[in-house]
Structure 1
Amino acid sequence: MSNRAYYSASVSSFLITSTDEIIGIITSQHSQDLVHLQTNAWQQQIEILKKSLLPIQKGHVFFEMLIPRMGRRADVVYVVDGVIFVLEFKIGESEFRSSDLRQTEGYAMDLSCFHETSHKHLICPILIATNAKNEVLDFNKQLNEVLPTIKSSANNLSKTLADVLDRYKSLNKIDPIYWIKGRYKPTPTIIEAAQALYAKHDVEDIARSDADAINLAETVGRINEIVHQSRIKKQKSICFVTGVPGAGKTLVGLNIATIHNNVQDEEHAVFLSGNGPLVDVLREALARDSEARNPNISITNARRETGSFIQNIHHFRDEYLRDSTRAPIEKVVIFDEAQRAWSLEKTSKFMQQKRNQSGFYQSEPEFLISVMDRHDQWCVVIALIGGGQEINDGEAGLNGWFLALEKNFTDWQIYYSEKLKQKEYAGENVAINLLKNTQSYSESSLHLATSMRSFRADKLSHFVHYLIHNLPAEALSIYQQISEHYPIFVTRDLSKAKDWVKKQKRGLESCGLIASAGAKRLKAEGIFVNNEIDATHWFLNSQDDVRSCHFLEDAGTEFLVQGLELDWCLIAWDADYRYKNNAFEHWSFKGSKWMHVHNESQQRYLENSYRVLLTRARQGMVIYLPKGCNQDLTRLTSFYDETYQYLKGCGISEI
């Protein structure tokens, strides 16, 4: 609690304590070098607040209040009667900037969603541009427990506070001391989580602690034990970590990598992924955050540093192809989405065509294990396995790893989750019995059972599973359990869909337009899935940047968004995965017409593409199906109508 706020006091105590003494308490808690501008800002905040609270004479103030998920501190949180005020000061400003309004509302939304004792209480964000003109309060815009951000000048703050308190005087009173002790159970995006870990926060600080789920900290702890044990006993080990979509597998891997990201560390680790957009976005997000936290580091140096422990798996592979004997400097490697490693056929073809190596006969899993096996004494491979994530042909799945271990690496210690035997993770025809001749051990802590992504709906992945696999009754049953907290709608009107998403998004929340890479005829609706998108711009740029996802103009495909997430999604559904005669059909648009997909693997990739799209939204989504056009043989209304009715049959309401 002492670190939750740098200074906290009852209003009566705050009013009689000198400004210098309060600043002294705040600065003693502050970890960064202070500059005159910062202490001057605190001084003005304190004096403005003292003047504003003098007529009210009640409540409790918390200066520099930690908002862990965002990795930031709100200037002041003021708890009085039945209201939680989030106060953000912009000293000397005469305008209310949109970015500041979003930041202030973001703090309030964060408390409402993730701070246990803030749930169901009224939260009022106020942006104070000290030199701005006074704004008239409008109480007609209340959306839920979080009011729209109120704009106030310094001179008008006292009246603003009083007006809000008078409006909501009938609310149950909040005990400020009990409130500040409330547990904070954040559910960060993978980007926010990576930033927090890189800034040396504990994984426990950014993970929920659901009673029915294996805690992330337990999984990380067990993997660390295996790493230590392998080093001490001079063993070579591989861990298979499974989890439902959004459960935090990537977070586990990043946590291990950040714990051991020092080259001098004997257990030095690197995080590898074949997901190019994920690698690019995480590297850039960490670099930008590092530069923002430390003005002495340039963005170039920050990018160089983050690039050292988050790498593209194919670049890693090529590095050790060039030198067939050298072992990596890292003793621990984490392979994200390991089930997507390339098969023998795809790897051999690639080596022959792109690398001019005609005699290469190893699958990617076999080669990657063999590279780590070059270490003389010990090493650890951590393979993160997602269910229903294969969206490319030529992916080896688990069989590639099992075959390699059984064929050439029987001396390795193998740790795996029992869930590895399930079809959802193992896929079709996986020979789990290959492990019987190896030194393998089942570990329950190596499975993550609860999704963190959709914090409003833990069962979203189950709903999507039933929907994708033509089980409408089961989908409807799950939908009825989640719909109150996780809105899902369907529409035939694209403008309505965009309006809905924009109205849902508040503060710093994200939103985006996504569609399958095979949705080629959405082009007629102005949705171009073939456009080349820079993932770092799309995910990380500000809400005022037209290249960002927030504008709902550039459509991200499953290849762009896999492994990442958005708060609100607009999913455009084309005729590539269409419902007809009580079953789903698989189609691919080639040239100028749709072609039926008969290959079972290709069918599965298409199903998984829609699974990825439907599990990207953390807070809610709207699905858009075109009406079609009978004058265009590639967009007949019959291609879409039954899919639309099927989705409604799964419980999804129309806007």
Structure 2
Amino acid sequence: MRAYYSADRDKFYADTPDHILGELARGHHFALDLEQKRAWQQQINLLRVALDDEETFTVHFEFAIPRMGKRADAVLMVRGCVFVIEFKVGSDQYDRHAVEQVEDYALDLKNFHHGSHHLSIVPILVPTWVTESKPYQLELALDQVAKPLLIAVADLAQVIRLISRSHHNHVDATQWLSSGYRPTPTIIQAATHLYATHAVTDITRSDADAINLGRTQTVLNDVIDTCRAQGKKAVCFVTGVPGAGKTLAGLNIATQRSASRDDQHATFLSGNGPLVDVLREALARDYALRSKARKSDAHRNVHAFIQNIHHFRDEYVRDEGPPSDHIVIFDEAQRAWTRAQASKFMQTKRAVADFDMSEPEFLLGVMDRHPDWCAVVCLVGGGQEINVGEAGLSEWMAAIRDRFPDWQVHASAQIVQPDYDLNNDARAFIASGQVTLHDDLHLGVSMRSFRAETLSDFISHLLNGDAEAARTAHASLDHYPLVLTRDLNRAKQWLRDQARGSERFGLVASSGAHRLRPEGLHIKAGIDPPVWFLNDRSDVRSSFYLEEVATEFDVQGLELDWTAVCWDADLRYLSGWHGQTFKGTRWQSINDRFRRLYLKNAYRVILTRARQGMVIFVPHGDDADATRPRAFYDGTWDFLLRCGIPAL
């Protein structure tokens, strides 16, 4: 239900408070405690008084905000103006977190609820024991979302009346309520919601503009069910642009199967350590809050759901039996190690003297130990290999061809594209007859940047050095703020000015950006990813403080609302992109084609982390410093301007 209780003026006053309370309790679906019942009673009575002089309105109690997995206390429409009201019953202060909460609800309606796109939305916080309102001058941003109003109970009626009188839009309340909701949650929000409810429908888009995740999951579920029914083994390759929802698709399969029969339990595996740490911490915090469990118990509870792929690998080097799960999902499968990298690591770090295979070959071999059936789902990001020894799809294809010819392969038709097929192996692999191609195994539209679904196209043109194509693509980013500056302090202030509610912002840079240190950015210092991504504005270690900078290794697979991309001379434009690595006291050219690719992909990652907008900071440099003369940076600055990005 969009709301537990909805009514126009006539119904709201015809229904008794006890009837309304009964409707709210019926929609609640949870054990109703006395505190919640009393809060609803007060809210009903306060709004009946506040709206007594209004001739027409519609009111919705417990209005769903699915992306956040929460419900607003009341959403009120008067003369085409939408009020989002959050009551804090028994509170005598305007708590900062409550202010953020009601502003988040308003922003969610504006960004994701189709009927609210062109309406004014006014968030109001009402602590019921506060006796004096804050000055309540209406301040609407460009998107027509107001700054939160902090209002005492006694002034609520007057505030609604004053603001609504200036609006005369005719809005069909029924159509508004039923209009489409197109949420694009962050991966942290999505994982938390999935883990809590085992339901993806409320948090995914199903509009015609986006490739429906449901179709991708239908293909995957059909393959898994067929394998189980017929005793077969299969691997599926799901491709997608950055932010298209590959990880969400994998998490959904894992949660669905974890709720079913034992032999269909699925484990989500990722070699991305920061992603695993952040998601585990987020799930544990949410689980502890919902279940009142101890944090240590919550961590144990979520541990089996998301695992580090390297821990899984090490476990089954020691244990030669089949794994407990028949279904595994490998996130960012393109980052699995080559034979040379895996063998070197296992022989030197794990003392496994006879280890001589690639990571894909070993992982598939572990699953092949099942005597009956198994299914492997590989989530593959295009142009996302960012470190030495990462294999792309080549090692997966080689392992299947050479060692597992009886396995079925279901793949996105996009695996032949250069971003996925680094060694040009895919066409021959497809021709073998072992592979079935599916268009629905490719997710082609970014849902991370809900303001700019074509952002990945723009970034690709930029990194390919095609300023004209980038400029054309930039023209379609009219709702995605993207600016340049050569002043880091100005970049930081821009982030603070853009973010509203609990929208998260932070500094990102490539791991090779060592000469940003004179600007106060210490790449080698590192961050604590769960703290940086999850802690609030009061924590100096959080992204909000703009003191610690995250690299591509920290942020791949995750996202923020707003970012400042700090661009160093490791990737500089001089009639084309040139990669450099800083060794000792000087820059050295990168000649190896794979290392050049990893560097470009590092910038692709950090340039695609922002959901709502970003500022790019390019230092001036200093001719007195041989490691950072102005010429190292001016070419990059000029090229980015040519790509259509305006200077602040």
TM-score with structure 1 setting the length: 0.97
Q: 1:129 maps to which residue?
A: 127
**Displacement of 1:11:** 2.4
2:563 matched to which residue of 1? 569
Determine whether 1:234 maps to 2:228.
no
Q: Counterpart in 1 of 2:256?
A: 259
> Displacement of 1:212 after TM fit?
4.9
Query: What 5-or-longer segments of structure 1 have no aligned partner?
Result: none
Stretch moving more, 546-555 or 306-315: 546-555
2:295 to 299, 302, 308: 299
Aligned to 2:283: 286
Counterpart selection for 1:22 from 9, 14, 20: 20
* Aligned ranges 1:68-87 → 2 under 5 Å: 68-87=66-85
Residues 1:591 and 2:584 aligned together: yes
Once the 2 structures are TM-superposed, how far is the Cα of residue 290 of structure 1 from its aligned partner?
A: 2.0
Contact 1:406/1:438, CA 8 A, preserved across alignment: no
**Matched residues, number:** 647
Matched, 1:647 2:644: no
Q: 2:572 aligns with which of 561, 573, 578?
A: 578
Contact 2:526 2:549 in 1 (8 A): no
Provide the rounded CA distance (Å) in 2 between the counterparts of 1:428 and 1:467. Answer: 23
Judge conservation of contact 1:238–1:380 (CA < 8 Å) in 2. Answer: yes
Partner Cα distance (1:14, 1:57) in 2: 12
List structure 1 runs of 4+ shifted beyond 6 angstroms: none
Candidates 178, 187, 196, aligned match of 1:181: 178
Rounded Cα–Cα distance in structure 2 between residues aligned with 1:213 and 1:47: 43
Alpha-carbon distance in 2 for matches of 1:437, 1:466: 33
Deviation at 1:263, TM superposition (A): 8.2
The aligned residue for residue 526 of structure 1 is 520
Q: Is the CA contact 2:233–2:374 (under 8 Å) kept in the aligned structure 1?
A: yes
Does residue 441 (structure 1) correspond to residue 436 (structure 2)? The answer is yes
Could you say which residue in structure 1 is the equivalent of 2:484?
Answer: 490
**SS class of match (1:199):** helix
Structure 2 CA distance, aligned partners of 1:142 and 1:245? 29
Q: Which residue of 2 aligns with 1:390?
A: 385
Residues 526, 550 of structure 2: 8 Å contact kept: no
Which amino acid in the other structure matches residue 601 of structure 1? Answer: F
Give the whole-Å Cα distance in 1 for the aligned partners of 2:207 and 2:6: 30
2:531 is paired with a residue whose SS is helix
Q: C-alpha separation between the residues in 2 aligned to 1:471 and 1:391?
A: 22
Tell me the distance in 1 between the aligned counterparts of 2:565 and 2:432: 46
What per-residue deviation string (whole Å, max 9, x for no partner) do you get for residues 22-42 of structure 1? 111111111221211111111
Residues 515-537 of structure 1: per-residue CA shift (max 9 Å, x gap): 01111111110111111311111
Contact 2:269 2:331 in 1 (8 A): yes
1:266 Cα offset (Å): 2.2
* 2:42 aligns with one of 36, 41, 44: 44
- Output the amino acid matched with 1:276: G
Distance 2:516 2:235 in 1: 43
Which residue identity lines up with residue 374 of structure 2 in the other structure? C
Give the Cα separation in 2 of the matches to 1:105 and 1:632: 46
Deviations 1:588-626 (A, max 9, x none): 111121111111111100000000011111111000011
- Between 641-650 and 434-443, the greater mean CA deviation after superposition: 434-443
Please give the alpha-carbon distance, in whole angstroms, between the structure 2 residues aligned to 1:231 and 1:25: 44
For 2:142 and 2:99, how far apart are their aligned partners in 1?
Answer: 16
Pairing 1:120-199 to 2, within 5 Å after superposition: 120-132=118-130, 133-140=132-139, 142-166=141-165, 168-169=166-167, 171-199=168-196
Confirm or deny that 1:375 pairs with 2:370: yes
State the match for 1:13 in structure 2: 11
1:355-370 alignment, distance < 5 Å:
355-370=350-365
- The counterpart of 2:343, out of the listed 348, 362, 365, is 348
Q: Quick one: distance in 2 between partners of 1:519 and 1:9?
A: 57
Q: In the alignment, is the contact (CA less than 8 A) between 1:71 and 1:196 conserved in 2? A: yes
Contact 2:416 2:424 in 1 (8 A): no
**1:594 alignment partner, SS class:** strand
- Distance in 2 of aligned mates of 1:412 and 1:285: 36
User: Greater CA deviation, 351-360 or 381-390?
Assistant: 351-360
User: Given residue 323 of structure 1, which amino acid in structure 2 is its aligned partner?
Assistant: D
State whether structure 2 residue 487 is matched by structure 1 residue 510. no
CA distance in 2, matches of 1:129, 1:196: 28
| Identity %, equivalent residues | 48
Q: Give the Cα–Cα distance (whole angstroms) in 1 for the partners of residues 613 and 540 of structure 2.
A: 23
- Distance apart, 1:435 and its partner CA: 4.5
1:422 maps to 417
- Identify the residue that residue 481 of structure 1 maps to in structure 2: 476
* Structure 1 residue 635: Cα displacement: 1.4
* Separation in 2, partners of 1:518, 1:127: 45
| Residues 55-64 or 262-271, more deviating | 262-271
CA distance in 2, matches of 1:21, 1:139: 35
SS at match of 1:530: helix
Q: Which amino acid aligns with 1:387?
A: G
CA contact (8 A) 1:203 1:216 kept: no
After superposition, the Cα gap between the structure-2 partners of 1:205 and 1:263, relative to the gap in structure 1 and judged at 3 Å, is closer
Residue 331 in structure 1 maps to residue 330 in structure 2? no
The residue that corresponds to 2:308 in the other structure is 312
Tell me the distance in 2 between the aligned counterparts of 1:113 and 1:263: 35
Residue 95 of structure 1 aligns to a residue in which SS? coil
Distance 1:306 1:379, change over 3 A: same
Q: What residue is the counterpart of 1:501 in the other structure?
A: 495
Cα 1:143–1:545 change in 2 (3 A) is farther
Deviations 1:437-491 (A, max 9, x none): 4522111111111111111111100100000110000000000111x11111000
- Output the amino acid matched with 2:125: L
Aligned partners of 2:300, 2:476: CA distance in 1, in Å? 46
What is the Cα deviation at residue 359 of structure 1? 1.4
Instruction: Verify the 8 A CA contact 2:237 2:441 in the aligned structure 1.
Output: yes
Question: 1:300 aligns to what SS in structure 2?
Answer: helix
User: 1:407-436: CA deviations, max 9, x gaps?
Assistant: 110000011111001111112333541354
